[in-house]
Amino acid sequence: MASIASNIEAIREQITSACLSAGRDPAEVRLIAVSKTKPATLVKEAFDAGQIEFGESYVQEFLDKCQDPLLENLPLEWHFIGHLQSNKVRSIIDKVSLVHGIDKLSTAEELSKRAIQHNLQVDYLLEVNTSGEASKYGMHPDEVVAAAESLFSMPNITLRGLMTIASPERAEAQEEFRNLRLLLESLQEIAPDPSKLTELSMGMSGDFEDAIHEGATMIRIGSAIFGWR
Ligand SMILES: *Cc1c(COP(=O)(O)O)cnc(C)c1O
């Protein structure tokens, strides 16, 4: 089996060539290594291969892992990429560098409330259900612009961009990535500070090259780095 280090190297090469063929600077795309279900030892292995940013989806697993003695003193940046329920916000808020999975005004309000309590400034992304699949989380694309006004006004939290999980079918996924980018562009037109609203978290092991072509600034890669779950 290929090592985690060689998997990361291979992904980084693919990111670079996807960027070059899309006329983009590879420095614009951040690799988030999705370590859900994988033990701290493998996160450490990825860190030793130069990986700093990790994504986790489940609150309890995330808390256990980021406080694991093997990892807690490393300069890791944790992204919470799972669906976040309001009642879990306070347990992760001081441990994450970016929350990807906010999909309701009420959860954003809770994030803001807890950020104020902890005297923190918290960055987050709004998850959008670009595929319209009922089984997926995310705000409906038609509701995003209307919600933005409230989101922009919430204290101590900053909307940095949008996140989506695309359909398995390639042509559909490409269209969904494009639609997420167009939605971000319409938000930038009404944002108080568009320079802060620039992130597109889209693309996973199976579709990140297409996501890069459509403007992804963060790709979330699990199985292509850590193996199957
Ligand atoms: C699990 C997960 C990923 C990684 O998926 P892979 O196909 O293993 O790369 C990315 N994003 C989210 C939100 C996930 O839950």
The whole-angstrom distance between residue 215's C-alpha and the CA centroid of its chain comes to 14
CA distances from 141 to 125, 178, 196, 224 (A): 14, 12, 20, 29
CATH number of 4-226: 3.20.20.10
Contact 152, 144 (CB under 8 A): no
pLDDT confidence of residue 34? 98
Please choose from 51, 57, 79, 163 the residue to mutate so as to test ligand 1's pocket, defined by most ligand atoms within 8 A of CB.
57
Domain segments of the chain: what residues? 4-226
- Counting from 1 in the atom list of ligand 1, the atom nearest the Cα of 221 is 9
| Strand positions, DSSP E, the chain | 30-34, 53-56, 77-80, 98-102, 122-127, 157-163, 199-201, 218-221
pLDDT of 165 > 90? The answer is yes
User: Is the C-beta atom of 223 inside 6 A of ligand 1?
Assistant: yes
156 lines ligand 1 (CB under 6 A): no
Please work out, in degrees rounded to the nearest 5, the angle formed at the alpha carbon of residue 144 by the alpha carbons of 89 and 84: 20
Scan for tokens 């963060």, then name that residue.
Answer: 218
As a whole-number percent, the residues of the chain with pLDDT over 90 amount to 97
Two structure tokens written together for 57: 């989806």
| 104 pocket-lining for ligand 1 (C-beta < 6 Å) | no
User: pLDDT, tens digit, for every residue of 100-112?
Assistant: 999 999 999 999 9
Assess whether pLDDT exceeds 90 at residue 1.
no
